[in-house]
Amino acid sequence: MASAENRCSLCGEPAVARLVEPERRLCAAHFIEDVEARVIAAIRRERMVFPGDRIAVGLSGGKDSTALLLVLHRLLPALGADLVAVTIDEGIAGYREETLRAAEALTAELGVEHAIVTFADLFGDDLDGLLVGREAQGCAVCGVLRRRALAEGVKRVGATRLATGHNLDDEAQSVLMNILRGDLPRLLQDTSTGSPGHFVPRIKPLAVLSEKEIVTYLLLRGYFRDLPECPYAGTALRSEVRTMLAELEHRHPGTMVRLMRFRDGIRESFSLPGPAKALSTCRICGELTSGEVCRVCALLGREER
């Protein structure tokens, strides 16, 4: 429906966005305020941050993690927590160089400590080299290795929590993908508590914001850059789910939020009798795993010495 009067519901200035639940229009300044207020409300509601925490932002240099660093840089001082950035350089030619430069420029501008962990350093080769002959598995291999690299980065900077830039679209897509795959354990999996001695808790402060809201926030703050997309990006299923959810969100606004409520409801009401598999340590590298050999060592074909 067309709007004759596009004015901010709070101050009457020209609006840049129309939001639902509650229905409102916001000007640039009030949109930025609204975004930051929703993120800090989520941080408090879900107890993501405690005074004295050292929060490591997984900073790829892309839009979501850039927004996350900008938001946390504003919000964390009030929460008594410290901020540091960790970037993983997987070694993806034609993609990572530019985002890495963006990450370095942003942390320098904000005065945030920044650590870079490379696949070459950790795994002996960059992603392009590790994927020769199995390029189609790019996302799956990178996902496993990147999680390990991020954990290593978090250790190096002495962080107490890892914050990632997952947005509402990412999270809603994952919920639907887990349903479509019939993967209940993954639907219920909650990484926000961590595992003492092994994984620090992971937090997703931007999961209350849609991708569109994040890009609007970046455009308004002057930080949106049209960066290249990862050449290995996206599995076929995620791509299909993304298109389907975008259609549903357009025709039925609030679909993604309702999917997240559904997941939270399932998590609250469904309790598994215990971990499906007891965790042990990998016999090759000593990291936590559900089998004898962790997925990183299996993917890299590492052998016991």
Would you say 160 or 255 has its CB closer to another protein?
255
Q: Write each residue from 121 to 160 as x if it is in contact with another protein (CB under 8 A), else as -, in one continuous string.
A: ----------------------------------------
Q: Residue 61 interacts with another protein (CB under 8 A)? A: yes
Of residues 52, 94, 234, 286, which one binds another protein by CB under 8 A? 234
Q: Residue 28 interacts with another protein (CB under 8 A)? A: yes
- DSSP-derived secondary structure for 248-272: HHHHSTTHHHHHHHHHHHHHHH---
Of residues 53, 126, 171, 249, which one binds another protein by CB under 8 A? 249
Would you say 40 or 172 has its CB closer to another protein?
172
Read off the amino acid at residue 294: C
CA distance 173 to 198: 28
Which residues in 86-123 are b (16+ Cβ under 10 Å) and which e?
bbbbbbbeebbeebbebbbebbeeeebebbbbbbeeeb
Q: Residue 205 interacts with another protein (CB under 8 A)? A: no
Of residues 71, 150, 175, 230, which one binds another protein by CB under 8 A? 230
Tokens of 305: 């010495």
Q: Residue 66 interacts with another protein (CB under 8 A)? A: yes
Q: Residue 2 interacts with another protein (CB under 8 A)? A: yes
CA distance 204 to 165: 6
Q: Write each residue from 91 to 110 as x if it is in contact with another protein (CB under 8 A), else as -, in one continuous string.
A: --------x-----------
Tokens of 124: 């002996």
Q: Which residues pair with 19 in a beta bridge?
A: 24
CA distance 146 to 151: 8
Instruction: Check whether the bond before 273 is cis (ω within 30° of 0).
Output: no
Alpha-carbon torsion (4, 10, 13, 14), positive or negative: negative
Count of chain residues binding another protein (CB under 8 A): 40
In the complex, the smallest distance separating the C-beta of residue 233 from another protein, rounded to whole angstroms, is 5
Q: Residue 16 interacts with another protein (CB under 8 A)? A: yes
Residues that bind another protein (CB under 8 A): 1-4, 6, 14-18, 25, 28, 60-66, 99, 165, 210-212, 215-216, 219-220, 224, 226-227, 229-230, 233-234, 242, 246-247, 249-250
